[in-house]
Chain A
């Protein structure tokens, strides 16, 4: 199941589709401090965060995560969306808190 199919299944909003159709979620990583994410997130993880600024896009590219999922109703501004589009980063969002979001994804994909 690719990232966009997961989004549809769980009714997550697609903020920027990016390369979501070509990527799969292999794990989940939750954290808002960027250096910790770069140290610990694995390639192809879904990265769930409330950190909705342009540096998050850069971190997603470098850490090579499969998508950014903004939790707690956080939103990207136009500049962030543009940057994500340019870099091909898939960005999803949801009103759910980080834990519930992770739990739903895990139940669907059986990752752990």
Chain B
């Protein structure tokens, strides 16, 4: 694998049952590219958490993934309601998830902490009323 591989996804904000398709597809692609399983697991979980957040909290968005020989970079962009206090949102257990998604098993307030835990770098840019961009990288070594 010498070249950079680029993947692009549009995440539907309506359909809960389809949430996770982008992460599943990234997982398949990484496997084909011969990326080590532990790296794939980290990327897949971090991306799924971000994807689900876009569906639950932001009515969908777009995901771009770049795979180079050294690392995997992910950019998740939405035009949802934004996060008022990013530091607070990053705390374990903080969640504004509505009851109907809690009954599906979401809303533990562990998504953003998981994204931090499983990636080597993570940056959130968010403006209330405008949207949220999340950038994550996982190095392959």
A residues apposed to B, CB below 8 Å? 32-36, 38-39, 43, 51, 53-56, 58-59, 61-64, 79, 87
Query: Beyond A39-B114, A55-B20, A58-B24, is A34–B45 a contact (Cβ under 8 Å)?
Result: no
A48 and B104 CA atoms in complex are apart in Å by 16
| A87–chain B nearest beta-carbon distance, Å | 8
Q: Quick check: B105 and A32 within 8 Å, CB to CB?
A: yes
Q: Quick check: A39 and B16 within 8 Å, CB to CB?
A: no
B141 touches A (CB below 8 Å): no
Q: Quick check: A64 and B41 within 8 Å, CB to CB?
A: yes
Q: Which of these, B104, B106, B110, contacts A39 with CB under 8 Å?
A: B110
Q: Quick check: B113 and A51 within 8 Å, CB to CB?
A: no
Q: Is chain B's binding surface mostly helix, strand, loop or mixed?
A: helix
Q: Quick check: B17 and A36 within 8 Å, CB to CB?
A: no
Smallest Cβ-Cβ distance to B111: which chain A residue: A35
Which chain A residues lie closer than 8 Å to B41 at the CB level?
43, 62-64
A107 and B52 CA atoms in complex are apart in Å by 37
Q: Which of these, A53, A61, A79, A87, contacts B104 with CB under 8 Å?
A: A53
User: When each residue 86-128 of chain B gets 1 if its CB lies under 8 Å from chain A and 0 otherwise, what string results?
Assistant: 0000000000000000001111111101100100000000000
Which chain A residues lie closer than 8 Å to B106 at the CB level?
33-35, 55
B49 touches A (CB below 8 Å): yes
Q: Quick check: B108 and A33 within 8 Å, CB to CB?
A: yes
Q: Quick check: B117 and A79 within 8 Å, CB to CB?
A: no
